[in-house]
Homo-oligomer: A and B are copies of this chain.
Amino acid sequence: MAVGFRRSGLRATPQRLAVMEYVAHHPVHATADQVYRAINRRDPRASRATVYNCLHALVKAGLLRQVMLDGQAARFDANIGQHHHFVCGRCGAVEDIAPMKAPGFVAPAILDGRYVADYEVILHGVCESCRAREQRRNK
């Protein structure tokens, strides 16, 4: 993991390592607040501002991906590879979706004069468990 820090010229401070480690190993798509609370539990001196700072630094360094999925809070994803996101409209759960076959085009590319660096696909619907629950109820 530290290799990323070295490559990006970021100083690997304890806080940054902690943030990176949490996002990488914990509930995928953690919000900044979740990260803050986790960090703060282990080191009560860690502040919100620092967590936001670290998250943004890591995003800028390309070690994390930031996605706005529900219009509420930004979510951070240690999975840098090409994939999409599914958001359950009932419970708010977020799940990774394998890149779809035949995505139509591959970024980066030029599209009608625009430079398209990348793209994200967000699917909205009802997750498996919510679906099961609702079918049980409708029986």
Complex Cα–Cα for A131 and B86 (A): 32
**3 residue pairs, one from A and one from B, having the closest CB atoms:** A100-B104, A113-B128, A116-B125
Contact in complex: B123, A107 (CB < 8 Å): yes
Name the contact of A123 in the complex, choosing from B101, B111, B123 (C-beta under 8 A). Answer: B111
The answer for the CA separation of A102 and B41 in the assembled complex, in Å, is 47
B114 and A119 form a contact (CB under 8 A): no
Interface size on A, residues (CB 8 A): 38
Q: Sample 30 A-B pairs with CB under 8 A, ordered by A number.
A: A68-B68, A68-B69, A68-B71, A71-B74, A86-B111, A97-B111, A100-B103, A100-B104, A100-B105, A102-B103, A107-B125, A108-B125, A111-B123, A112-B128, A113-B128, A113-B131, A114-B131, A115-B131, A116-B123, A117-B124, A117-B126, A118-B123, A118-B124, A118-B125, A119-B124, A120-B121, A120-B122, A121-B121, A121-B122, A122-B122
Count of identical protomers in the assembly: 2
From B104, B116, B120, B126, contact of A114 by CB (8 A): B126
Give A residues with C-beta under 8 Å from B: 66, 68-71, 74, 86, 88-89, 95, 97, 100-105, 107-108, 111-128, 131
> Chain B residue with minimal CB distance to A105?
B100
